[in-house]
A and B are shown apart, each in its own frame.
Chain A
């Protein structure tokens, strides 16, 4: 018996040691090179693309619909974009790009206001039905019908009617000039679905999408993945005239946990994903991976004020709060120094209307105290802010509280879920300050008309501000991008001067993939979301 006891002890000791060594070998696999040098990725495009293969990408939230106009989350784009084309496509700088658009050209008329699109010939939907003027008319009218509950409808309010002039010519009759139009059509509203499929599937169309895009739906597993196969009849070609896409198969998996996402990349279970900030350094040092960076992929932290609610109905107090925030310190404390200190307004780095020269509040405690005095509260004041339960926002809001405390402002925090917080701030107006994050919307009017216009969905105060409304309308109506940029610079300066929305940090996107994945530099679209059309795999 004694002998047995000893054997047992020995065995358990061996097991324990084995377990420890397992963890240890785990750690060593993660170590950077001895000298800490970041290994450069080999040139991304060597030789002609090869066809075939299956790429598995991942994204952190599951699709709410594969019908672009009915989806309830901006994250749906990662899934549907691979199966659809837009009437107008834009490059990263928001220049319309006819070569990748379903409309090969367009004419803009100022009297009467209209845009006439000449459609690409020979394009077919995945179900074999032709893409033509009637299909465009059907898609746009579907969005305009309030019963569809299409999310792009508010941004299409300027469209009066759509006429199919002939098989391949369609005219949008407008109520006024629509300079934002081409960019809006490059977003969800301009995505073309098969009218036959929409009629056939009815309410189930959202999970049976039929577009004209490079991939078509093969299998959808709710909550887990969207699996797509090559559309052999795809009309698109690359710059050398090779048919697109290169891949045979594509899967976008749902992986909600950031740590697991990184593990899946390392284990080779997925190829393409956006890295969580906490893992960027480890992946930079891991020579198996290449990283593609896009600054301004989102607004990571923004202070949204209700300018009609005490204490922040006083512009000087809003300014005081803006000047009290040390963005660089927050970046280090919460974002692993991977975000970027905001140098402009709500149009982040790289977007059309981004203007780094606009005067805005930067961290300056003397300035903050000056505005406190000007606002009649030299000793500070108290208020309650709201934020939502995002792993980065909660600590960021705590940092905001600590920083405001330095100038005597005592801020209480209430944490709600994202839906309740958004509702409580913008619609039931229960809080004077909302600390949140914001998606990157490439077209400036998307944000301007929703957030700045007096009747905007994201204008908490809904104060009548004719000067602001005029600028927003002007910006949306002008056709020349240079003229538009001037208007938006003016609008940006006004918003920042009055401190309605004070962005603190812009987010950076780190897209990663192993080296066998090529064309990673073509992955990020103008909205910083994934477009997997041009990726290919080395044999």
Chain B
């Protein structure tokens, strides 16, 4: 298992390098004078000031040199300064990524806690009312765009019922109750699509496993239904579920862009979109790197869970 882990970890390095190169190339492809772009729209600096910006951001150097300078700084933890926000990129990303992470993890947990049992129930009670309701909800969950769900949730629970805050962010570690209250709606809006997908996946995987001979044998041995499902069927049914689960990390980051805008959460998703619009090079590069790291870590975790669930993987790979 250890060897497997090390091998998987080493595989991440070239992927990360390719990611940094691609991000750098993308930023270069954007038309226009980068020094002017760094000033931001609606602002005017004179040529003398622009020249200082070119020097400060190494825009006067060849592209490969720029990339080299940037990479050498990054490995030392220096991501540069945001041209828009004039703060160190690392500080900016650290606070924002932490916020996104809180909501992401909560949405993840919520999705799994609801989806896996619901999927199991749906499979076990296949063709009955519970199954139809679960199917209806999950189709809705996939079909409804999460920004619309978010706005509707704000309207119903925030404005008309007044049960929950309509928007805003409170640090959960400073004020746990208010923080939690502010998290409920966005976490639901963020997690609902993943929840629906994981539930569909659990249901079909479970149905497949339940039709296997060994399940029939277990039942024939006289095992109780909870043991058959919980012990024998579930572990095998979870394999494809874990795949979906891993893929959802990327989705949750993508969803965060929308949900953070709708709920006014100072996370990384929205910040990255603004940085791209403002051509805030340093932030985009640092941010994409961190997101890539997060997705790679989630994939790694998925692979490790795989190996734990199914020993064949770690030996054959």
Given A26-B155, A204-B87, do A256 and B264 touch, yes or no (CB 8 Å)? yes
Q: Which residues of B contact A450 (CB under 8 A)?
A: 44
State which of A64, A146, A254 has its C-beta within 8 Å of the C-beta of B49.
A146
Cβ of A439: which chain B residues have Cβ within 8 Å of it? Answer: 42
Q: Contacts A153-B49, A269-B165, A423-B32 known; A224 to B265 CB distance under 8 Å? A: yes
Min CB distance B294 to A, Å, is: 19
B133 proximity list for chain A (CB < 8 A): 8, 12
Q: Which of A167-175, A258-266, A354-362, A482-490 contacts B (4 or more CB under 8 A)?
A: A258-266
Report yes or no: A64 in contact with B159, Cβ–Cβ below 8 A. Answer: no
Contacts A223-B96, A450-B44 given; indicate if A424 touches B129 (C-beta within 8 A): no
Q: Interface code B27-64, partner A: CB below 8 Å = 1, 0 otherwise?
A: 00011110011011111111011001100000000000
User: Are A423 and B36 interface neighbours, CB within 8 A?
Assistant: yes
Which of B36, B86, B267 sits near A427, CB closer than 8 Å? B36
**Given contacts A22-B160, A64-B40, A457-B44, A223 and B32 within 8 Å (CB-CB):** no
Of B166-174, B197-205, B209-217, the segment with at least 4 beta carbons within 8 Å of chain A is B166-174
Asked if B102 is an interface residue, CB under 8 A from chain A, the answer is no
A34 surroundings in chain B (CB, below 8 A): none
- Among A22, A260, A269, A428, which residue has its beta carbon within 8 angstroms of that of B32? A428
Residue in A23, A253, A420 whose CB lies within 8 Å of B30: A420
Residues of A within 8 A of B276 (CB): 417
Residues 75 to 117 of chain A near chain B (Cβ within 8 Å): none
User: Are B86 and A222 touching (Cβ within 8 A)?
Assistant: no
**A190–B166 Cα gap in the complex (Å)?**
38
Q: How far does the alpha carbon of A222 sit from the alpha carbon of B91 in the complex, in Å?
A: 10
Which residues B233-276 have CB closer than 8 A to chain A?
261-267, 270-271, 274, 276
Alpha-carbon gap, A420 to B34, bound state (A): 10
Contacting residues, chain B, for A310 (C-beta < 8 A): none
Any B CB within 8 A of the CB of A38: no
The interface-forming segment of A66-74, A401-409, A508-516 is A66-74
User: Is the beta-carbon distance between A73 and B154 smaller than 8 angstroms?
Assistant: no
Query: A13: shortest Cβ distance to chain B, in Å?
Result: 11
What B residues does A259 contact at CB under 8 A? Answer: 151
* Minimum CB–CB distance for A273 against chain B, Å: 12
- Please report the C-alpha to C-alpha distance between residue A500 and residue B166 in the assembled complex, in whole angstroms: 45
Q: Which residues of A contact B52 (CB under 8 A)?
A: 146-147, 149
- Given known contacts A423-B33, A424-B31, A428-B31, A64 and B84 CB-to-CB distance under 8 angstroms: yes
Q: Which A residues lie within 8 Å of B274 (CB)?
A: 62
CB pair B160–A26 under 8 Å, yes or no, is yes
B4 at the interface (CB under 8 A from A): no
Q: Say yes or no: B167 contacts A420, CB within 8 Å.
A: no
Instruction: Judge if B158 is at the interface, Cβ distance under 8 Å.
Output: yes
The answer to whether A73 and B86 touch across the interface, beta carbons within 8 angstroms, is no
Chain A residue at smallest Cβ distance from B33: A427
- Which residues of the other chain, A, contact B162 by a CB distance below 8 angstroms? 267
Cα–Cα distance between A139 and B84 once the two chains are bound (Å) = 22
B156: interface (CB < 8 Å) = yes
The listed residue (B43, B161, B264, B271) touching A255 by CB distance below 8 A is B264
* A212 interface contact, C-beta 8 A: no
Q: Which of A129-183 contact B (CB under 8 A)?
A: 146-147, 149, 151, 153-154, 157
Once the chains bind, are A223 and B266 in contact (CB under 8 Å)? yes
Interface presence of B308 (CB below 8 A) = no
Contacting residue for B43 out of A5, A23, A72, A206, CB 8 A:
A72
User: Across the interface, do B129 and A5 meet the contact criterion of CB distance under 8 Å?
Assistant: yes
Task: List residues of chain B with CB within 8 A of the CB of A420.
Answer: 30-32, 37, 279
- The answer for the CA separation of A378 and B233 in the assembled complex, in Å, is 78
Q: Which of B49, B158, B171 contacts A267 (CB 8 A)?
A: B158
Confirm or deny: A25 has a beta carbon within 8 angstroms of a beta carbon on chain B: yes
Instruction: Confirm or deny: A51 has a beta carbon within 8 angstroms of a beta carbon on chain B.
Output: no
Say yes or no: B31 contacts A266, CB within 8 Å.
Answer: no
Question: Which residue of the partner chain, among A153, A222, A417, contacts B45 with CB atoms under 8 Å?
Answer: A153
Chain B positions 132 through 155: 1 when the CB is less than 8 Å from some CB of chain A, otherwise 0: 010000000000000000010011
Centre residue among B36, B42, B161, B262 by max chain A CB count within 10 A: B42
Interface: B291 (CB within 8 A)? no
Interface flag for A29 (CB, 8 Å): yes
Of residues 1 to 55 in A, which have CB atoms within 8 Å of B's CB atoms? 5, 8-9, 12, 22-23, 25-26, 29
Residues of B within 8 A of A458 (CB): 44
B11 at the interface (CB under 8 A from A): no
- Specify which chain B residues have a CB less than 8 angstroms from the CB of A26 in the assembled complex: 155-156, 159-160
Let me know if B279 and A70 touch, CB within 8 A. Answer: no
Give the residues in chain A near B156, CB-CB below 8 Å: 22-23, 26
A151–B36 CB distance below 8 A:
no
Q: Are A72 and B33 within 8 A (Cβ)?
A: no
Cross-chain contact B84 with A263 (CB below 8 angstroms)? no
Q: Mark B75-88, 1 if CB is under 8 A from A, else 0.
A: 00000010111110
Residues of B within 8 A of A (CB): 30-33, 36-37, 39-46, 48-49, 52-53, 81, 83-87, 92, 95-96, 128-130, 133, 151, 154-156, 158-162, 165-169, 171, 261-267, 270-271, 274, 276-279
Other contacts beyond A254-B264, A430-B31: 20, CB < 8 A: A29-B160, A62-B274, A65-B85, A146-B48, A146-B49, A151-B45, A207-B87, A221-B169, A253-B264, A254-B266, A255-B264, A260-B167, A263-B154, A267-B159, A267-B162, A269-B158, A419-B32, A420-B32, A420-B279, A427-B36
A-B contact list, 19 entries, CB within 8 Å:
A12-B133, A26-B156, A146-B49, A149-B49, A153-B46, A154-B44, A154-B45, A203-B86, A204-B87, A206-B86, A222-B87, A254-B264, A263-B155, A267-B158, A269-B166, A417-B276, A419-B279, A420-B31, A439-B42
Q: Which 6 A-B pairs have the closest CB atoms?
A: A223-B266, A72-B40, A423-B32, A457-B44, A224-B266, A26-B160
